């Protein structure tokens, strides 16, 4: 049983970083799906996926966080999240575990974060051997202005 001061996060990897999204925001995690490219869409929009008959927009979190691009031979995984406007897929490098964290160990965003990542990370939890960066899902799914 989870204690009242604990939260659960679905974890995932992007580059060398470990991120987390609150479990109650996650609808499902799925492997790579065929994607339809959307011409003239924002650079963060990787395409559209067909999720059992429902068309879902797939956002590339590497692009959203201004991280280096994924290698061409690496296939992203999908974390389908619930938002106020419906479901969206966040493309990540790898899916991790669901972890319980103690609210008392929450800290603000690390000083080493800069740029857009600093705006989209609400804080961090220290896990064994790594830092869990908590993604502000609502802000992350808002598309940046096109260049």
Domain boundaries, the chain: 6-140
Q: Say if CB 140 and CB 90 are below 8 A apart.
A: yes
pLDDT given at position 5: 67
Cα 15 to Cα 18, 62, 84, distances in angstroms: 8, 8, 28
* DSSP string of 16-79, one letter each residue: TEEEEEEGGGEEEEE-----B--TT--TTEEEEEEETTEEEEEEEHHHHTTPPPPPTTPPPEEE
Q: Is the pTM of this model over 0.85?
A: yes
pLDDT given at position 147: 52
Q: What is the pLDDT of residues 51-91, one digit of tens each?
A: 999 999 999 999 999 899 988 888 999 999 998 888 999 99
Give the SS3 label for residue 4. coil
pLDDT given at position 30: 94
10-residue averages of pLDDT along the chain (147 residues):
73 94 95 92 94 94 92 92 92 95 88 82 90 92 73
Reading the block at residue 51, the tokens are 């999720």
Q: Say if CB 124 and CB 28 are below 8 A apart.
A: no
Task: For 6-140, give the CATH class.
Answer: mainly beta
Residues whose CB falls within 8 Å of the CB of residue 82, separated by 6 or more in sequence, listed in order: 25, 26, 27
pLDDT given at position 146: 59
Q: Say if CB 75 and CB 125 are below 8 A apart.
A: no
pLDDT given at position 144: 74
pLDDT given at position 112: 81
Cα 74 to Cα 28, 77, 134, distances in angstroms: 21, 10, 24
């Amino acid at each position: 049983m989870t204690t009242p001061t604990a939260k659960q996060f679905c974890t995932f990897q992007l580059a060398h970083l470990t991120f987390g999204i609150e479990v109650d925001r996650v609808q499902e995690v799925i492997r790579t799906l065929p994607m339809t490219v959307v011409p003239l869409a924002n650079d963060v929009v990787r395409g559209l996926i067909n999720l059992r008959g429902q068309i879902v927009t797939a956002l590339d979190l590497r692009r959203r966080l201004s991280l280096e691009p994924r290698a061409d031979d690496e296939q992203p995984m999908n974390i389908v999240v619930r938002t106020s406007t419906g479901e969206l897929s966040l493309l990540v490098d790898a899916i991790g575990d669901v972890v319980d964290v103690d609210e008392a160990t929450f800290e603000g965003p690390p000083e080493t974060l800069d740029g857009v990542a600093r705006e989209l990370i609400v804080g961090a939890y220290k896990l064994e051997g790594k830092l869990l960066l908590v993604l502000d899902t609502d802000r992350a799914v808002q598309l940046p202005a096109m260049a």
